[in-house]
Structure 1
Amino acid sequence: MKNNNGLTTQPIPKLIRQLTIPVSVGFFFNTMYNVVDTYFGGLISTQVLAAMSLSLPVFFVIISMGSGISTGVTALIATALGAEDREEARLFAIQGMIFGVFMSFGLTLLGIYISPFLFTILGASDEYLSICLLYMDTLFKGVIFFMLIYMFNSVLQSLGDTKSYRNFLIFGFVLNIILDPWFIYGGLGLPPMGIAGIALATVLTQVTGSIYLGTKAYRTGLISCRKLKDIFPRAAAFKEIARQGLPASLNVMTIALGVFVITYFISKFGKEAVAAYGIGMRVEQIVLIPTIGLNVATLTLVAQNHGAKKFDRIFEILNSALKYGGIFMGIGSIGIFILAEQFMTLFTNDANVIRIGVTYLRIDALVLYAYIILFVSVAALQGVKKPMFAVVIGIYRQIVAPIAVFYFLAYVLGFGLTGVWWGIFFVTWSAAVIALIYS
């Protein structure tokens, strides 16, 4: 069946806007979803806020697998569609679903088993540890729904449909505003659940999302099973999904491990530092929303045009994405630098947390365009089925360089916590330059 979605023929700037804007709008609401969680967590206590911040790298290690496999499946389906081989696209879509379900069960068990150990490494103990585990154990029970959403969205993204996921994220944001206070404080027959209520609201939102996106994906015809054997795992398909998806998963996981490394160093400076970093990350996520849209647009467009062997368009895609990213991040950097204190006071009235967070945000404002360069370059390489560079640069940026640079700046040169913030600056920019040269 001929692929008529126009991703290999229409003007590149138009396509980038067409794909980026819905994704960016959706992820704005996804980020605001997290902001709502952070806001209500802060209302409970600073310790709960710190526990949620500490939980981020632990859960991110788990969901990074889903995100990475989704990236790999998107590249495979989009490449097949670009080559006008819809049957192969259907095969990868169905096998991707099965692969994701199997993986979700393993990740749930792994997460429940290793999370106490990881939290202990990060310095949690006694009541602090109990709060972290209460939050995470609830989230782990919903891993399969996170995974299904990733897989369904990979089908939709490969076809250029970024609006369905946007719609889910907007609905999820509204639903979370309703569920968070209800589950936290109780009422209408429900007992107060505290931080566990925040996690339960997230799981229920994922359930609704998996139903909605599953319906949309089924209507594309790419996950329709014509024969019973279609639903059985196929070694060749699993191997190709793993070959493309696992490097992408490892790349995303290095981000999680990077947050783990950063949190490890920050935790040495107290709970206030951890809480400030957690708030700062939420603010950063808002400003970096366009990078998610550009990332998805670059991956989808490069994969389809690579499949269609239109290599000249690939370079135009990369250049256009970097140009749009520069505009977005220029505005975002100025906003964060000027309004850092105002952003922090939205989430806490703790003067020490605000002071630490303002310093972080103003240094972070100087890093933002480096993320654009890095993410767009990696997405382009994933689109041409060269995923291993993402793993290499991820290990450098998230693990090897941070450990050395953070220690040197914070302890050897004696800059303390500020040394960690400047370490993020130096490491991220060096990785961005390397990625751009390679791509």
Structure 2
Amino acid sequence: MMKSKGNKSNKFNLWLLAWPIFIEQFLQFLLGSVDTLMVSRISDNAVAVVGFSNQLFNALTTLFATVASGAGIVIAQKIGSRQEEDARTVGIISFNVTAAIGLVLSVLLIAFPHPIAKMLQLPDELLPLADVYIPIVGGGMILIAAIAVLGTAIRNTGNTKGPMLIAVGMNVIHIVMNYGFIFGAYGFPQLGLTGVAISTVTSRLIATIVLFVLFLSTFQRKIKLSDFRIFDRRLFKEVLEIGWPLGVNSANWVFSQLAIFSFLAMLGSKELAARTYMNTLESFCFLLGFSLALAAQIQIAHLYGAGKTREAYRSAYKALAVGLPLVAVNASILVIFGKNVLSLFTQDADILTLCVTLLWMNLMLQPGKMVNMALGNSLNAIGDTRYTMKISLIFMWVVATGCSYVLGVTLGWGIIAIYSCMIADEYIRGVLSYVRWRGRKYLRMKEDEMQKEQEQCAAEVSLAL
């Protein structure tokens, strides 16, 4: 028994959780960069449409992020408190609800791609490409939903290696099929952006099947197909209590980014393409930092469930101490070599000039983003999700989005002003998250709860004697 407990505790070691997440994210970044490079061989307009569409899809994922994210935290907390059967039930419920939401979104994107693109201010010259790409990839929203909830559930049991290997396989398949469809290789027809869309959906379908098989065996008691009829209102309410602010928080970020993409579209297709290329490069800066922050969230939720509040408190600072220097170094590397890398994607001089300026601004952006990732995820892990939601509602929309429109579009200061507003938003929320974490509000509540339980147990023992 002692060995089993040790193995379970070891699964939730910060580094053991973080390194598979890092490898998964790093390889996805590399393969995503290759994907963008391949699409750029079609045209800069194709890149802009893919970037714009991905922002739309990310925005729509917030509709099921409430369940998926909340379920992940509850699963880790339940395992920490040794309520394995409840963790299993939460996993099943979250899959059913998330898949249903994904199916509805798939139908909507297949039926109305053109009106959606028009509503989001996509330039007219890009609409024909959007009419091709959005219904095919958007029609697979149910697959995105399934991948999100299955991967989250599995990771929060302490198994970060499984989703890593599956994600790597998915991206390799996607790149191989992309190459075939874009260049007519391996006997594939040369289908351009249509082929890219087909390869995206196909690779996600394969990943969903493999993740589902792994999910069936991820808890102590294996899940049977008949178990998917289970629904526990008490546990689902617990998921929603943690999850709905997470969903709103995620929606704030994604929809604010979508709004900013719309502002960039108003400025022109070059600004939109520049932001898309920068999204790819920026991912490099915070890969390990993001991995540490996500690992810290899993670890802290587990420690919080087990009542180890002091260890949970320190874990956030460990992730932050390692992550901040890493993102600073990575951002500096991009400043030095970024222009050479960008020249692989586009030869447009105007786009390159914009991107080089944004690389310097990225050096200021990333440390603030790292603080948000580490401390924001830590607050979420202990259930303090309403606080992160509130500061997101205020500052993402007032500073990042509202000021971006006023300064970037209305006053005509362009993409530089928009980036400046994004930087200000990250630092404001980072400082507020730090102050909240230092206050230990939810950790103290947990300690008081445990003390009352101990006193109650002592009283019952005393009466029995």
Length-normalised TM-score, structure 1 = 0.92
Residue 336 of structure 2 corresponds to 338
Q: Specify the alignment match of 1:314 in structure 2.
A: 312
Residues 69 and 292 of structure 1: CA distance in aligned 2, closer, same or farther (over 3 Å): farther
Give 1:155's match in structure 2, choosing from 153, 156, 162: 153
CA distance in 2 between partners of 1:3 and 1:73 (Å): 28
Q: Of 323, 326, 329, which residue of structure 1 is paired with 2:327?
A: 329
In the alignment, structure 1 residue 389 sits paired with structure 2 residue 390:
no
**Residues 399 and 422 of structure 2 are in contact (CA less than 8 Å); yes or no, is this contact kept in structure 1?**
no
Q: Note the 1:15-414 alignment, pairs <5 A.
A: 15-112=13-110, 115-186=113-184, 190-221=188-219, 224-225=222-223, 228=226, 231-410=229-408
Distance, in Å, in 2 between the alignment partners of 1:376 and 1:297 is 9
Cα offsets for 1:38-92 (capped at 9, x unmatched): 1111100111111112212211112234444322111111111111111111111
Equivalent residue letter for 1:123: Q
CA distance in 2, matches of 1:9, 1:219: 20
CA distance in 2: counterparts of 1:394 and 1:210, whole angstroms: 31
When residues 407 and 219 of structure 1 are mapped into structure 2, their CA distance, relative to the original with a 3 A threshold, is: closer
Code of the residue aligned with 1:214 in structure 2: it is F
Change (3 A) 1:143 1:5: farther
Question: Percent same amino acid among aligned pairs?
Answer: 20
Supply the distance in 2 between the matched residues of 1:297 and 1:247 (Cα, whole angstroms).
20
Alpha carbons of 1:133 and 1:11: their partners in 2 closer, same or farther (altered >3 Å)?
closer
Query: In the alignment, which residue of structure 2 is the partner of 1:426?
Result: 424
C-alpha spacing 1:306/1:192, structure 2 compared with 1 (3 Å): same
CA distance in 1, matches of 2:407, 2:201: 40
Q: 1:7–1:92: structure 2 CA closer, same or farther, 3 Å change rule?
A: farther
Relative to structure 1, the CA distance from residue 208 to residue 434 in structure 2 (aligned partners, 3 Å threshold; closer, same or farther) is same
- 1:170-192 Cα distance to aligned partner (Å, 9 max, x none): 22232122100212344666433
Q: Distance in 2 between matches of 1:2 and 1:137?
A: 53
* Separation in structure 1 between the aligned mates of residue 309 and residue 128 of structure 2, nearest angstrom: 53
Deviation of 1:311 (Å): 0.5
C-alpha separation in 2, matches of 1:224 and 1:325: 36
Contact (CA 8 Å) 2:68, 2:148: kept in 1 or not?
Answer: yes
Structure 1 residues 5 and 387: CA distance shift in structure 2, 3 A = farther
The alpha-carbon deviation at position 413 of structure 1 amounts to 6.2
In angstroms, what is the RMSD of aligned CA positions?
A: 2.5
Q: Secondary structure at the match of 1:44?
A: coil
Distance change in 2, residues 1:115/1:91 (3 Å): same
Amino acid at match of 1:244: I
Q: CA deviation at 1:408?
A: 4.2
Kindly tell me: are residues 162 and 67 of structure 1, through their superposed partners in 2, closer, same or farther at Cα, counting changes over 3 Å? farther
CA contact (8 A) 2:86 2:235 kept: no
Tell me which amino acid in the other structure corresponds to 2:80.
G
Unaligned runs of 5+ residues in structure 1 are none
Q: Distance in 2 between matches of 1:430 and 1:362?
A: 20
More RCO (CA 8 Å, sep 6+):
1
* Unmatched segments (≥5 aa) in structure 2: 438-465
